[in-house]
Structure 1
Amino acid sequence: MKDLVSILDGNTFLVSDRRGDIEPSLDFPTGFFSFDTRFLSTWLLTLGGERLHALSIDDAESFRTRFFLVPGEPTHYLDAKVSVIRSRAISNSLEEELTLLNHSGEETEFVVHLDIAADFADLFEIKHVQQKHGHTTATVGDNELRLAYHREGFHRETVISTSASAHIEVSSMTFRVRVAPHGEWTTRLRVATLVYGARGEDIRASLPLHGSSRGPDAIRAEQDELIARAPKLGCDCEPLAGAYRQSLNDLAALRYESITLGVRLLAAGLPWFMTLFGRDSLITSLQLMPFLPELVPPTLMILAGLQGHRIDDFRDEEPGKILHELRYGETAGFEEQPHSPYYGSADSTPLFVILLDEYERWTGDTSLALRLEAPTRAALDWIDTYGDLLGTGYLWYHTRNPETGLQNQCWKDSWDGISYRDGRLPGFPRATCELQGYAYDAKIRGARLARTIWGDPAYADRLEREAAELKIRFNRDFWIPEREYYALALDAEGRQVDALSSNIGHLLWSGIVDESRAGRIAEHLMSPRLFSGWGVRTLADDQGRYNPVGYHVGTVWPFDNSIIAWGLWRYGFRREAGQICDAMVGASRFFGGRLPEAFAGYERDLTEYPVEYPTACSPQAWSAGTPLLLLRVMLGLDPQGEHLIIDPAVPEGMGRVELLDIPGRWGHVDALGRSRTPHDHRRGR
């Protein structure tokens, strides 16, 4: 991602190289995308037949970028007689202004050329290199090029127009211009995307944002208004302040308007996950609760509205199950992928219950808890029925769709994310440890909702009894006495999948860990085997499949660490939680304040900086949410009845941390914490 530049507005985004060019690539999906379709696959600018090179890039805003370019190789920069400013902004279309500046003392003729193509590829086709089944046409009009794709009822169009006269062909625009001495020439290009429905109209036209002429100023105003509602952070630690600002900016930018549902939702991450994900959306909502709780209800309502209601093997759908992923592209529409929506995650369902309870505890909004009573009961029923595949009282997963379904349906959902200590892979079904923690927490929280809001004490008693039994059973069957940690999973025969992983930190967050064992879990998490110095690795460095640059087998995931810190805090390990907070804040400084999806698990002493994971999503919603949850942990924020408990434990060296106007059922309150030595982080330690 380092050599790529992206701009986004919700589900519409553009990824280019550092010249602003788009070229087809198998390494990473460059292009102009909207709702899972690539509307530009080539957008390549040349001047007099030469490629351009970037002197500087202004990408301070998520939706607007400027490239300052000159022709020739970098060694020619000092001799440049001409330069180009490429200014672009994105909303429901792409607006690009090309300005050519003649720095010579003579009138000069220039040939400005744009190569253009639209392959209308679905994101899944890019990821897995699939062949298109429809056909593309190109039509040249008056200062306009229209590219269209048809496959039966699936119809998408890209319309490119220019404010200056151009020679337009089916794959290019050419401008022959004469520029006065020290003069300039400008054209404004517009790339509009059209998503046609059955009636032959852009189906986004009726949506409030997509149907308007919403431009960059409106986007900025909307994002600024959202950010202004968040609590104000004052602190001595500049990396923390920078990470907080960046997180709010990224969360504002990742909001998008659902193409069919007409509400604002959080996309999971750029570029692969610019859509609704059950797990990601639920965890991000938990992270941002103390800051922007008003973003939570739309997520809960949409997930409830799309809750599974039948058995559908193709989509891994079951009654009561919360979706995993919702897509809008061609492969989903023609059922070549099951993502319309797809239900292949075992953790979204208990997390749905957890989030609803946390939202009510934080906001006092009993109306939403009452409105979602039926979906919540259905989710709790799913845990005990379809979720318990083997009838053992545990939450298992095994895809119903062996061709296109996900094998692993926990958060570590890559093919090798769950393994034995020696590196072997278990068979299916699998019951990972954190799923049992989530199920336990969901039952405890469901019981609270039943007793205090739904008026059903008998149901509450039953859920609490089931939770207590699950905790006893779990601590018996998952604990590995000789190693003194919990197994990563149980296999289909009930044997322990004995790898040491970060998942045990999620157990602390859920509350399923016996108090007598919590200290040992904390020690494992903070030992050199798991803790790299920059964060807790997904897999300990002495395990068979450990790889510091393996997606789920040794990298450090910021969101994972935020949940672990929350779990350590819950069991009273404030110093250890602070170590993780300090490590994450320190790492953020090397990423410009924006924590990526994941980074390498190398030892801190080995690299002295966090090494990038090559294809990490950035921005990503639950990574953007990480600094927010870490602030909650450091300040010890916990809703209790009508009050917010504030019990700060700021890591040593971080100085003053002050959060003003924290919203909730108590109105707005302020929180202040202070460590002993404030000066280290001021120097950017």
Structure 2
Amino acid sequence: MVSTMNGNTFVVSDGSGDVQASPSHPVGLFSFDTRFLSRWVLTIDGQRLNPLSKDDLEHFETKFFLVPGEVSPYLDPDVSVIRARCLSEDFTERLTIINHSHQPRTLSLRLDVASDFADLFEVKDAQPKSGQITAVVDRRGIRLRYTRRAFHREAYVSCSDVQQVDETGFSFEVALESSGLWEVDFRVETLIHGAHGRDLRESLAPRRRRTRPADLRGELSQWLDRAPHLACDEDRLERMYWRSLTDLAALRYSPLSATDKLPCAGLPWFMTMFGRDSIFVSLQSLPYVPEIAAPTLRTLAQMQGTVLDDFRDEEPGKIMHELRYGESSGFEQQPHSPYYGSADATPLFVVLLDEYSRWTGDTEIVRELEPDARGALAWIDAWSDLQGNGYVSYQRRNTVNGLENQCWKDSPDSVSYRDGSMPGVPRATCELQGYAFDAKKRGARLAREVWGDADYASRLEREAADLKARFNRDFWVEEREHFALALDADGRQVDALSSNMGHLLWSGIADDDKAARVARHLLSPELFSGWGVRTLGMREGRYNPVGYHVGAVWPFDNSIIAAGLARYGFRDEAARIAIGMIAASEFFAGRLPEAIAGYDRELTRYPVEYPTACSPQAWSSGACLLLITTMLGLEVHGDRLVTDPVLPEEITRVELTEVLGRWGRADAFARGRTAPRREPPRRRP
């Protein structure tokens, strides 16, 4: 599959540029959770075209180099075709037909066009449409319309040189001279009806201006120029770095304003705002592209929960999980308008606010969002303790289509006992407690240093210390020497061995005397595949190497684990994870997918992509950045950037110049390989 994308608008096609949608197949032109093109098929003399090559170096433009019919080593094609497509304000495609023969040629060209206007959830679940689709032909093209009561979407397909058009496409008789060339342009304009008949995008961003390819090209160039420059003796890492930055640029969109951009989660299923994902990506990328963090914080604050709403799992102070614009959300077949079904985004909001202010020195946003941060901290105490034991837990209010698991591993089978059986609800997963601990510690710093509320700061510090002490007592599985995945509804340990405990090192909630045993488990053959840490241990009852959260390896997860290991002084273990991820990226042209299978590296010798993985995915792109931060040991001390590098043995030189922060710009260097060591746990100031 080949993708062209710009924000949350994207095209997914086959290798020749054709789109032939089928149930549950996420190909087509999508925007704001609706598929506007489900068929876009080019033929010449009744034959499909075959790809020779493609150019997709820029995320918003793709060129396909094609020939009609089958490619043969014994017969040179005498006609070639270039499809040059672009996603700026609209979707455009220029067809260029070239006659390589010394004789004139006449070709019959056909472009078949259709739209099913499927909601992304309908594509995912292969559900039928409820409204009416019509096609109206005019002298310029085809207007495709979908109507279901007040819900209205349109795609207008126009052509620069209409010869013959009907409700299903365009036909041309193309006369080519010897060595001649013929071109035609197509444009697809999408209309998303909102209130008062206005396009929804203009309602969200009244000052939105039309963008051109040159604008996008300049914006991408500026984005890459502003980021620090990486130079090293490991080509795979450099390729991974620039690919990650480019993908993050492609995944940005403006949900509520004309200018502020924050990351979508991933293509194709999650091209929208996710609270948890946007927060983690902002954290991963702070030294590189800090400009996405403030829009993320402000947008999440703007949509922070204010009422009790069972359908949306909304509660006062809670940070949203997912925002959708499609038909199923509009008619409340899905609760995503927005949906609040995550227990981790709320404490992580406070974590990001503090970390962003530490890196950038921006205290104005801390003052601006003080009520929102206090509301998030209040949610931890007032609404998350469903078991009455002082721990953050979750249980969906929406029992029809709310998420059963509301941690980052949010698939239905992700939380289980060692024997594979499932606990009841509510559930309190271990990493949620780490996030809450971290949020309270950071909230205390903000209260004392910015808000001028020493009493509140002292209270939060006491609560954090109490939480840490209780956590290390109640979650520690003594006989197996690791932290439990969760506590069940009765407060009993859900004793599966999982990657979640790596997040405990990242948040700092694990006691120092337990960290070495956690590190040993994380790098053991049961969890470490050679590419990265599996989400679930190989001996656990639900282990499946191609299971979404029960055995697959997630780059995002591994970047957090590596950062946590380094925080407690296990720098060589962190380096092993980093080089595993770098090695895996080589097989995906530098782009780490959402997840790879948990097979042992020796078994497959190449990383197997999870069957329905998003690619690109924002926090997989962010994983590369956080791994570089971890290898270089980048940290903020006052108004200075400090480094404490430990590189993998395979890398002997890394230079990261013009790192962004409150100091302005600074450079970080790493040389050679230090001897293996164990340091005392390092703590953030």
TM value normalised by structure 1: 0.96
The equivalences for 1:61-460 within 5 A come to 61-75=58-72, 78-205=75-202, 211-258=208-255, 263-460=260-457
2:613, 2:331 → 1: CA distance?
A: 29
Higher mean C-alpha deviation, range 105-114 or range 472-481: 105-114
1:143 to partner: Cα distance: 2.4
Q: Secondary structure at the match of 1:110?
A: strand
Query: Could you tell me which of 471, 480, 483 is aligned with 1:483?
Result: 480
1:167-208 Cα offsets, whole Å, 9 max, x none, are: 111111111121112212110111111112222232334777
Query: Could you tell me which of 590, 603, 607 is aligned with 2:587?
Result: 590
- Residue identity opposite 1:584 in structure 2: M
CA RMSD in angstroms comes to 1.5
Q: Secondary structure at the match of 1:177?
A: strand
Give the percent of matched residue pairs that are identical in Structure 1 and Structure 2. Answer: 60
Change (3 A) 1:367 1:660: same
Q: Secondary structure at the match of 2:407?
A: coil
Query: Could you tell me which of 518, 537, 557 is aligned with 2:515?
Result: 518
User: Paired residue for 1:681?
Assistant: none
User: Paired residue for 2:678?
Assistant: none
1:156, 1:149 → 2: CA distance?
A: 5
- Residue identity opposite 2:297 in structure 1: L
1:420, 1:642 → 2: CA distance?
A: 46
1:262 to partner: Cα distance: 5.8
- Residue identity opposite 1:589 in structure 2: E
1:469, 1:247 → 2: CA distance?
A: 39
User: Paired residue for 2:680?
Assistant: none
User: Paired residue for 1:562?
Assistant: 559
Q: Secondary structure at the match of 1:145?
A: strand
User: Paired residue for 2:10?
Assistant: 13
Query: Could you tell me which of 34, 37, 46 is aligned with 1:37?
Result: 34
Change (3 A) 1:625 1:27: same
Q: Secondary structure at the match of 1:673?
A: strand
1:583, 1:27 → 2: CA distance?
A: 33
1:653–1:675 contact (8 Å) kept in structure 2: no
1:511, 1:420 → 2: CA distance?
A: 25
- Residue identity opposite 1:590 in structure 2: F
- Residue identity opposite 2:459 in structure 1: R
2:256–2:299 contact (8 Å) kept in structure 1: no
1:59 to partner: Cα distance: 1.3
2:208, 2:491 → 1: CA distance?
A: 54
User: Paired residue for 1:504?
Assistant: 501
2:73, 2:205 → 1: CA distance?
A: 48
1:102 to partner: Cα distance: 1.9
2:25, 2:343 → 1: CA distance?
A: 29
2:563, 2:366 → 1: CA distance?
A: 24
2:594, 2:28 → 1: CA distance?
A: 20
Structure 2 residue 599 is matched with structure 1 residue 602: yes
2:69, 2:150 → 1: CA distance?
A: 46
1:70–1:77 contact (8 Å) kept in structure 2: no
1:207–1:262 contact (8 Å) kept in structure 2: no
1:74, 1:405 → 2: CA distance?
A: 50
1:326, 1:555 → 2: CA distance?
A: 26
User: Paired residue for 2:665?
Assistant: 668
The equivalences for 1:624-663 within 5 A come to 624-663=621-660
- Residue identity opposite 2:447 in structure 1: A
Q: Secondary structure at the match of 1:60?
A: coil
1:228 to partner: Cα distance: 0.8
1:166 to partner: Cα distance: 2.4
Higher mean C-alpha deviation, range 143-152 or range 70-79: 70-79
- Residue identity opposite 2:186 in structure 1: L
1:267–1:276 contact (8 Å) kept in structure 2: yes
The count of residues paired between Structure 1 and Structure 2 equals 674
Higher mean C-alpha deviation, range 640-649 or range 357-366: 640-649
1:624, 1:209 → 2: CA distance?
A: 31
> Where in structure 1 are there 5+ consecutive unaligned residues?
678-685
Q: Secondary structure at the match of 1:463?
A: helix
- Residue identity opposite 2:588 in structure 1: F
1:78, 1:36 → 2: CA distance?
A: 44
1:415 to partner: Cα distance: 0.8
- Residue identity opposite 1:659 in structure 2: L
Structure 2 residue 491 is matched with structure 1 residue 494: yes
Q: Secondary structure at the match of 2:658?
A: strand
User: Paired residue for 2:681?
Assistant: none
1:426 to partner: Cα distance: 1.1
1:75 to partner: Cα distance: 3.5
- Residue identity opposite 2:281 in structure 1: T
2:250, 2:384 → 1: CA distance?
A: 35
1:472 to partner: Cα distance: 1.0
1:20-74 Cα offsets, whole Å, 9 max, x none, are: 0111123530000111111101101111111111111111111111111112223
Q: Secondary structure at the match of 2:75?
A: helix
1:246–1:593 contact (8 Å) kept in structure 2: yes
1:79 to partner: Cα distance: 4.0
2:431–2:500 contact (8 Å) kept in structure 1: yes
1:211 to partner: Cα distance: 4.5
1:578–1:650 contact (8 Å) kept in structure 2: yes
1:194–1:202 contact (8 Å) kept in structure 2: yes
1:58, 1:193 → 2: CA distance?
A: 25
User: Paired residue for 1:538?
Assistant: 535
1:206, 1:372 → 2: CA distance?
A: 25
1:152 to partner: Cα distance: 1.8
1:259, 1:503 → 2: CA distance?
A: 33
Q: Secondary structure at the match of 1:587?
A: helix
1:625, 1:203 → 2: CA distance?
A: 30
1:105 to partner: Cα distance: 2.4
2:208–2:258 contact (8 Å) kept in structure 1: no
1:201-260 Cα offsets, whole Å, 9 max, x none, are: 323347779943422221010011111111111111111111110111011111112266
> Where in structure 2 are there 5+ consecutive unaligned residues?
675-685
1:297, 1:276 → 2: CA distance?
A: 14
1:74, 1:549 → 2: CA distance?
A: 36
2:74, 2:348 → 1: CA distance?
A: 54
1:385, 1:146 → 2: CA distance?
A: 52
